[in-house]
Chain A
Amino acid sequence: MGATIDLWKIAKTIMFYAVVVFIVVVSVFPFYYAILTSFKSGTDIFRVSYWPVSFSFDNYTAVFNQGSFPRNLLNSVFVASVTVILALFMAVTAAFALSRVRFRGRGFLLMVILAVSMFPQIAVLAGLFEVIRFLGIYNTPWALIFSYTIFTLPFTVWVLTTFMRDLPIEIEEAAIVDGATPWVIITRVFMPLMWPALVTTGLLAFIGAWNEFLFALTFTSSNDTRTVPVAIALLSGGSQYEIPWGIIMAASVIVTVPLVVLVLIFQRKIVSGLTAGGVKG
């Protein structure tokens, strides 16, 4: 009796880890293969191998010496950072109003905000293009910041509103009695309590802006204003018939690194239970 139970236990453990390994391989393999390829050079690239055989930085130096890739990288950093800052600023202030100020049509407004995020990018592309031409920001980073902020805000506002609604109302009232204005309440009382939510939504907004392709392709036209995803897609080889896989892979790895670093940094800042101790419970 005991033996069969042990066998079943072992089988379950094995199955569990088999599934874990499967998931890890499926999700990590593409990136692993990209790294592998980025270190290969010449015709090595077309030889399939799953372990590092050769090791050269040629592709990486090529990426940085070719065209305007460094410039594109800076564009991406600028666009994504400004988008995050703008989106968080507007979302925090909007969330305060939506969660703490009682006004007519609040629930309806929240539904509208959610509904906006349901439009597919392609559906608004033409209209947005006209707006951007009208504003005179076509082919500048501001065109991208403008459109990314629009697309990030619904989600950001929604998450922060939900989070802020859960903050104890007494803390806000204590601050009011202490003489705090709404701005002081937001910046000095609520923001420190909302770090986990701010970091999470900020990170998602950053990743969204960093990886976005369609708007970046449409709203920019010159090499110097492009962001990295578009730049990678438009990387060309020596001739019309050559696709520079090695360089593309090296560029892809370079773009991914900042995201991984950001997640690793902020993961430690996401401290749950930050409100513990303020009120009873």
Chain B
Amino acid sequence: MASIELRNIRKAFGAVEVIKGVDLQVRKGEFMVFVGPSGCGKSTLLRLISGLEDITSGEMLFDGKVVNSLAPSKRGIAMVFQSYALYPHMTVYENMAFGLTLEKGTSKDEIRKRVERAADMLQIGQYLDRLPKQLSGGQRQRVAIGRAITRDPKVFLFDEPLSNLDAALRVATRIEIAKLHEEMNNVTMIYVTHDQVEAMTLADRICVLRDGLVEQVGTPMELYETPNSVFVAGFIGSPKMNFISGDKAKPFNAETVGIRGEHITIVPSGGTWSGTVIHTENLGADSYVYLEMGTEEPVVVRLEGANSYKSGDTVHISPMEGKIHRFDGAGKPIL
């Protein structure tokens, strides 16, 4: 229910500047994902929004009001931590109710109602009397999310909530978070992850961060189709975009040419480029062919269904029309 605006936000730990001037607007009810490699400052940025870290300079506005010096609990936020951060000596119910019991003027009945409503949403109603240590990792993370829901926040902050879960549980919980966003569609959510799949699947808009600066903000498809730098192009999408530079890129009037594995076709002869197969991966529904053709990293071609190429085969490939990304020497797109 809150819009958030960051104006030239900077954060320094001693002499080290981690956030180097971020301008960003998060709209009301939006699901915004911060994504970037480790050390890019995405978690720090989230902690600045939460109020757990102080802002070195710049302005942070919630609904147009400056909140720079407002305590976390007064900002109307709730946070889900990577390590769950449940209170180990309290039952699930007490964990979820703790924040409400600290607020004056919330009656016991009201607290019980809100905890039970949150527990129902997450299907943890039958665990309310248990201690965190009696729960599995996935259940613990759900309790942590439930604790955040109970507080009825205007802004929901997630700090890599899925990275401690195993692969199957991660997908299930991801879907649950997406459902949560649909149900609570007037709550602004900010989600930090280093996993671009989570970013693509959950986000209304993604904010790609690099070295303490915003690299690009946009919807998942905008980032996928029109990345505004080599960095974003390489970060969004799986498998990673192929970059071809030097002489092979010259015919396209670019320093570097980027082409995604799914936008390359294998042609019987001729073609734009050719390379030697060094490895193949069959995943059933699709398959990847890795080609050695003098680039820094092997070129990956994604094919529908299985394939029968063998290492050592020479194949000819062509990019699909209009799917090529051209970049200049500075890594910026040529339009």
Contacts and interface: CB of A to CB of B under 8 A. Distances in A.
A192 B89 CA distance: 7
B84 A279 contact: yes
Given A275-B88, A277-B86, A279-B86, A176 B132 contact: no
A280 interface: yes
B98 interface: yes
A271 B86 CA distance: 19
A176 B72 contact: yes
Contacts of A279: 83-86, 88
Interface string A157-173: 00000000000101101
B201 interface: no
Contact of A179 (B84, B103, B132): B103
A184 interface: yes
Interface stretch (B74-82, B111-119, B256-264): B74-82
A178 B89 contact: no
A276 interface: yes
B88 A180 contact: no
B102 A174 contact: no
Interface residues of A, number: 24
Interface stretch (B28-36, B133-141, B240-248): B133-141
Contacts of B87: 171, 174-175, 189, 278
Interface in B129-188: 131-135, 137, 140, 147, 151, 164
A128 B249 CA distance: 85
B21 interface: no
B40 to A, nearest CB: 21
A54 B24 CA distance: 89
B84 A177 contact: no
B73 A277 contact: no
A168 B83 contact: yes
Interface in A264-281: 274-281
A193 B50 CA distance: 25
B52 interface: yes
A193 B89 contact: yes
A274 B88 contact: yes
B125 interface: no
A256 to B, nearest CB: 34
Nearest to A171: B85
B99 interface: yes
Interface in A241-275: 274-275
A173 B52 contact: yes
Interface in A20-59: none
Contacts of B77: 177
Contacts of B134: 277
A171 B90 CA distance: 12
Interface in B93-113: 98-99, 102-103
A176 B151 CA distance: 13
A186 B249 CA distance: 63
Contact of B151 (A178, A184, A188, A276): A178
B78 A177 contact: yes
Contact of A177 (B73, B131, B133, B164): B73
B88 A178 contact: no
Interface of A: 168, 170-171, 173-180, 184, 188-189, 192-193, 274-281
Q: Which 4 A-B pairs have the closest CB atoms?
A: A277-B133, A179-B73, A278-B88, A178-B99
19 contacts: A168-B83, A171-B86, A171-B87, A173-B85, A174-B81, A174-B85, A174-B87, A174-B147, A175-B87, A176-B72, A177-B50, A177-B78, A177-B79, A178-B151, A179-B99, A179-B103, A180-B102, A192-B89, A279-B85
Given A175-B98, A192-B89, A281-B83, 18 more contacts: A170-B81, A171-B85, A174-B79, A174-B85, A174-B147, A177-B50, A177-B78, A178-B99, A178-B102, A178-B147, A179-B72, A180-B73, A193-B88, A274-B88, A274-B89, A277-B132, A277-B135, A279-B86
Interface of B: 50, 52, 71-74, 77-79, 81-89, 98-99, 102-103, 131-135, 137, 140, 147, 151, 164
